Amino acid sequence: MSGAPPAPSLVDLVDGTSRRRRAGVALGRLVDRWPAAARLARAPMRLGPVVTRVTRLHALLLRLSGGRLRRSWLFAAGQPVLVLTTTGRRSGLPRTTTVACFRFEDQLATAAMNLGRERDPAWALNLQADPRATIEIAGRSMDVVARRTAGEEAERAWRRWCELQPSADAFRTLAGREIPLFVLALASRECQA
């Protein structure tokens, strides 16, 4: 036994920040009263190469902060975010992006919102093809395994996400698709600092 303190659970890493925020409530009210606001918010997502560069820059900033940056006001209305590295389903290469995450019961979860676009984000498709991934959160890097929620569990996870992000229903309606929700679990007990 190494004498090192036990690694925190994934949900412990977002426990203090995974809560309803005024920014999320305000965004929810805005898109409920003015649905065009949701369309306007997703307009930049149509610029694929730009979005890719912005999300990679966001991931880099999270990494460079050494865990000091834990939430995103711009992309997640104040919810916690993590850097997610998946394996490209076609290329086999590592693909890194930043995604919002939240506490769902005693688990860490994420929603593949893609800002209400009609398609699932590439990272969600990558996780469905290969559920093994790496996350960086709170200054720690960990290997995880993702599992897509289904049935009653998916409904409970969606209700929790809507509680935290009141705009989620408006973006789901705009997308016209079921939003995949994933639960992340540590792939091993080791946690790298």
Residue 124 has pLDDT above 80, yes or no: yes
Position 21 scores a pLDDT of 62
For 139: left if phi > 0, alpha if psi spans -120 to 50, otherwise beta; the answer is: left
pLDDT of residue 190: 45
pLDDT at 1: 47
Q: Considering the entire predicted model, what is its pTM? A: 0.73
Q: Residue 108, Cβ neighbours under 10 Å: how many?
A: 26
Domains and CATH numbers, the chain: 11-186 (2.30.110.10)
Annotate 139-157 with DSSP letters as a single string.
Answer: TEEEEEEEEE--HHHHHHH
Question: Is 100:111 a contact under the CB 8 Å cutoff?
Answer: yes
User: Residue 68 CB: number of other CB atoms within 10 A?
Assistant: 9
Which of 117, 110, 124, 119 lies closest to 174, judged by CA?
A: 117
Q: Count CB neighbours of 53 within 10 A.
A: 11
Q: DSSP letter for 66, please.
A: T
Query: Radius of gyration over alpha carbons of the chain, in Å?
Result: 16
- 3-state SS, residue 110: strand
> Percentage of residues in the chain with pLDDT exceeding 70?
60
User: Which residues is 183 bridged to in the sheet?
Assistant: 109, 147
Residue 50 binned pLDDT confidence (cut-offs 50, 70, 90): low
Instruction: Give the model's confidence band at 110: pLDDT under 50 very low, under 70 low, under 90 confident, else very high.
Output: very high
Which pLDDT band, with edges at 50, 70 and 90, does 191 fall under?
very low
Phi, psi dihedrals of residue 45, rounded to the nearest 5°: -65, -15
Which of 59-68, 107-116, 117-126, 177-186 has the least mean pLDDT?
59-68
Query: Cβ(163)–Cβ(111) under 8 Å?
Result: no
Average pLDDT, the chain: 78
Query: pLDDT, tens digit, for every residue of 135-170?
Result: 988 888 899 999 999 999 999 999 999 988 888 888
pLDDT digits (tens, 9 = 90+) for 6-26: 556 777 777 666 656 666 666
Answer whether residue 66 shows pLDDT above 50.
yes
